[in-house]
Amino acid sequence: MFLIIAGYFTVLSLLALIMMKVDKTQAQRRSQRIPEKNLWSVAILGGGIGAYMGMMWFRHKTRHTNFRIGFLMLAVIDAAALVWSYLNFV
């Protein structure tokens, strides 16, 4: 069960990381962007770790307090869920 949960968080985190990179690239090109609600949706559904890592690595959305705090809190919640599932299912 832990592997399923870890896989789910991994896939969504990778998706969020890629979305942050694509949105940063699109912003630099002044092209069509990924809507913020889509970034938030993926982060809320389990991609908080990837969204936060992408925000920091690509320096994207770091001026927005709601992203800095929100993605950090979602990353902490996702990490806690992974630790909890590891302790209870392994």
pLDDT tens track for 22-77: 999 999 999 999 999 999 999 999 999 999 999 999 999 999 999 999 999 999 99
Residue 90 pLDDT class (50, 70, 90 cuts): confident
- pTM (two decimals): 0.93
Mean pLDDT of 79-88: 97
Whether 6 shows a pLDDT value over 90: the answer reads yes
pLDDT score recorded for residue 75? 98
For every residue of the chain, DSSP letters joined together read -HHHHHHHHHHHHHHHHHHHHHHHHHHHHT-PPPPHHHHHHHIIIIIHHHHHHHHHHTT-STT-HHHHHHHHHHHHHHHHHHHHHHHHH-
